[in-house]
Amino acid sequence: MSLLDQREVVVRTVDVVKQYGEGEAAVRALNGVTCEIYTGEYLSIMGPSGSGKSTLFNMIGGLDKPNEGSVFVNSVDIAQLTPKELAFLRCHTIGYIFQTFNLISVRTALENVTLPMLFAGLTPEEADERGIKLLDLVGLVHRLHHRPSELSGGQQQRVAIARSLANNPSIILADEPTGNLDLKTGQEIIDLLRSLNEERGVTIISATHDHKMLDVSDRIFHIRDGQLALVETREELDKHKALA
């Protein structure tokens, strides 16, 4: 088949079940999801609200633990990790980007970017140097000492992207990164993510509603009712486009 099959696997989920609530009121957000995500790909997770998209996202990111099944990130079963090891994994292996930016409101752009580096044990000088480079990369080197409230939505998301790259993660998880942005700014963010993916080889996993996102994705997971309903590859997408 395609090149994808020969690639290294960075995330693997096996029969992941996540249930919220107990007894009669229980809701199964994920109902047996098995998937593999390859190193260096740009993957979009699509699905209507309530399909379990965000839940899957949280599982992959080690933000929540499954009730059944396992999630492997870099061949480590995250359900087996202690809280400290999980914090280490989040610090070093995964970068997060959120729909609502989630910058730390009391810290400046540079401090937001350097905080994960300090968690990783860098000295303040090393962290500042690397932080300035990253903010330069996202085009915000002139906004180093501004707090999030002094930045526009697009700028805040750029800071969040720089922050997600802080410790050279192998995965960036983006939960609707363009959801709170206008079309033009959203497109800029998508282009930035795609170029990071191509230039740095970082795996990007993004939950999205945004159809612009699909144009740059290598693969698309369609989630329906807590299950992986369909996996589309780039070739299939291009074929559909050619037909239409």
Partner 1 sequence: MKQTEFKNVDPPMWVAWNQAKASIRVRFLRMLITSLGVALGIAFFCSMQVLSSTPTHGGMQSQAQMQWLTGTSLVMCLVGVTNSMLMSVTERYREIGTIKCLGASDSFIVKVFFLEALLLGALGSLGGSLIGSLLIALVMSATTGSPGLVPIVHAIVVGTLVGILMTVLAAIAPAVQAAKMPAAAALRVDV
Q: Which residues bind partner 1 (CB under 8 A)?
A: 8-10, 58, 61-65, 72-76, 83-85, 87-93, 96, 98, 102-107, 111, 115-116, 118-121, 147, 163, 166-167, 170
Spatial distance between the Cα atoms of 137 and 148, rounded to a whole number of angstroms = 18
By C-beta, is 120 or 237 nearer to partner 1? 120
- How many CB atoms sit inside 10 A of residue 138's CB? 22
Task: For the CB of residue 229, give the shortest distance to partner 1 in the complex, in Å.
Answer: 23
By C-beta, is 121 or 139 nearer to partner 1? 121
Task: For the CB of residue 82, give the shortest distance to partner 1 in the complex, in Å.
Answer: 9
Burial of 75 (0-12, 13-18, 19+ CB in 10 A): exposed
Spatial distance between the Cα atoms of 60 and 66, rounded to a whole number of angstroms = 10
Spatial distance between the Cα atoms of 13 and 34, rounded to a whole number of angstroms = 5
By C-beta, is 147 or 212 nearer to partner 1? 147
Phi-psi region of 147 (alpha: psi -120 to 50; beta: other; left: phi over 0): beta
Task: For the CB of residue 71, give the shortest distance to partner 1 in the complex, in Å.
Answer: 13
Task: For the CB of residue 26, give the shortest distance to partner 1 in the complex, in Å.
Answer: 16
Amino acid 222 reads H
By C-beta, is 63 or 141 nearer to partner 1? 63
Give the rounded distance of the alpha carbon of 126 from its chain centre: 25
Using DSSP, state whether 82 is helix, strand or coil: coil
By C-beta, is 103 or 181 nearer to partner 1? 103
Task: For the CB of residue 30, give the shortest distance to partner 1 in the complex, in Å.
Answer: 13
Please give the structure tokens belonging to residue 102: 């989630």
